[in-house]
Amino acid sequence: MTATLRTLKNGVRVVCDPMPGLETLALSVVAGRGAAYEDPERSGWSHLLEHMVFKGAGQRSARDIVEVIESAGGSINAATGYERTSFQVRALKGGLDLGMDVIADLVRRPTLDPADLAREKQVVAQEIAEAADAPDDYVFDLIQRASWGDHPVGRPILGSDQTVEAASVEALSEWRAALYAADRLVISATGAVEEAELMAAAERAFGDLPAESGAAVPEAADFVGGPQAEARKLEQSHLVFMLPACGSRDRDYFALRIFAEVLGGGMSSRLFQEAREKRGLAYNIDAYADTYADHGALGIYAGCAASDAVETAKVCAGELIKLVAHIDDAELARAKAQLKAHMFMAREQPLSRAEQGAGQVLLFDRLYAPAELAAEVDAVTAEDVSRLGRRLLSGRRVASAVLGAKTSLKAGEAFDKTLFSAA
């Protein structure tokens, strides 16, 4: 069956993607706004709001919200990112109406009690502290800052103790209206669901939402670059390097995904084979595409002994340079197969499929059939990958984040010098 995209009169878009044979469904209500829409004073408010709506909404208490879903065999969750906030329900066949009603309460009618807010601020403060104490989390906060500077995507999604503490019930209520406005709201359902049933539920739950525009789309971030390094007594040093690349809407997007796959996407990748298998420098090492709608980067992560950090950085830079110069046919074919497998395996999971559909609508205002995506991947040539590689190096800018013993802190400088010494 073919997925469909419909639009309510107020601009809320609805994706229906039935999966015949399933006895369960997935429902995602996705607001196409998140932490990237926050000004500095409201940093972390999108995440705080996501917490708060679960403390009570409509006529349901915090316990009621969970119990009513779980009593019907389902589960409920939410997630805040830089460019979207998602509310998700998994349910048995026939559970669409209940899931839609509960999410509608969360999005539209949260209680936002002052006493709950005071307690939740303490919870989020502990979450912020926990992230700072977790090296493999904190190093990614450092690389965001190094890469994107003062842009909202350069700040942690959790915000800071100061900005979270500054939030009031009234201010959060105003932010909720801006964040979850109809113009960037997508309802996406997959699995045991029919279009007529979904449209009726969506109209009932969200059809009277005011047709208003919410928080303005932020400007695309400019890649800043530069080093971030902090000494900390750790058994392992954590290294992250980033180079400016492209966003999800860019013609080079799939070339970037393939470049990352060949460089460090799996056990057959160049970084894994050279740094781990051949040299034994790192247990965890990979490369990835970190993309947003209109900007993005190539990232490399490695966890290694402090004494190996500089050498690991040099290997990462060296393998990147080699890949820019040449990709062989077997590597290209293997990367295409892996990328298509990642995309299509995700589509076999109802919730991932629902999120994927919502993401396509938010980015492109349309749905892509699997055959279209496969054709886009297959169309990438070796020259496309090399061109993307040259694009990575053209600005001579790199961001680095190093967290570990003092002997590892030169790793960022080593990566930079190795990468650009030949130019």
Q: Report the amino acid identity of residue 88.
A: Q
Q: What is the pLDDT of residue 91?
A: 98
Class for the domain spanning 226-420: alpha beta
Confidence of residue 372 (pLDDT cuts 50, 70, 90): very high
The answer on pLDDT for 422 being more than 70 is no
Counting every residue, how long is the chain? 423
Contact 70, 56 (CB under 8 A): no
Q: pLDDT per residue over 19-45, tens digit each?
A: 999 999 999 999 999 999 999 999 999
Say what the pLDDT of residue 57 is.
98
Q: Which conformational region is residue 191 in: left (phi greater than 0), alpha (psi within -120 to 50 degrees), or beta?
A: left
- pLDDT at residue 423 above 70? no
Domain 4-206 sits in which CATH superfamily?
Metalloenzyme, LuxS/M16 peptidase-like (3.30.830.10)
Tell me what the mean pLDDT of segment 247-271 comes to.
97
Return the amino acid letter for 42.
R
List, in sequence order, every residue forming a beta bridge with 260; answer none if it has no partner.
none
Give Cβ neighbours of residue 243 (< 8 Å, ≥ 6 apart): 297, 298, 392, 393, 397, 398, 399
99 — pLDDT class (breaks 50, 70, 90): very high
Please check whether residue 389 is in contact with residue 324, taking contact to mean a CB–CB distance below 8 angstroms.
Answer: yes
User: pLDDT above 90 covers what percent of the chain?
Assistant: 98
Q: What are phi and psi of 146, to 5 degrees?
A: -65, -35
Hey, where are the domains in the chain? 4-206, 226-420
Domains 4-206 and 226-420 share a fold: yes
- Amino acid at the residue 400: S
pLDDT tops 80 at residue 349: yes
Residue range 53-74: mean pLDDT, rounded: 97
Distance (Å, whole) CA 230 – CA 227: 10
Say what the alpha-carbon torsion angle 246, 288, 277, 412 is, to the nearest 10 degrees.
70
The pLDDT of residue 421 is 86
Q: What percent of the chain has pLDDT over 70?
A: 100
Query: What is the C-alpha separation between 337 and 158, in angstroms, rounded?
Result: 36
Average pLDDT of 167-184? 97
Could you write out the DSSP letters of every residue in 234-252? -SSEEEEEEEE---TTSTT
CB atoms inside a 10 Å sphere around CB 319: 22
Q: Give the span between the Cα atoms of 193 and 292, in whole angstroms.
A: 30
Q: What is the pLDDT of residues 392-418, one digit of tens each?
A: 999 999 999 999 999 999 999 999 999
Of 182, 187, 224, give the one whose Cα is nearest residue 3.
187
Compute the average pLDDT of residues 262-273: 96
Contact 227, 412 (CB under 8 A): yes
Residues 6+ apart with CB under 8 A from 4: 15, 16, 17, 195, 367
Average pLDDT, the chain: 97
Mean pLDDT for the stretch of residues 226-254 = 97
Question: Could you tell me if residue 232 is left (phi over 0), alpha (psi between -120 and 50 degrees) or otherwise beta?
Answer: beta
> What's the confidence (pLDDT) of residue 1?
74
pLDDT given for residue 189 in this prediction: 98
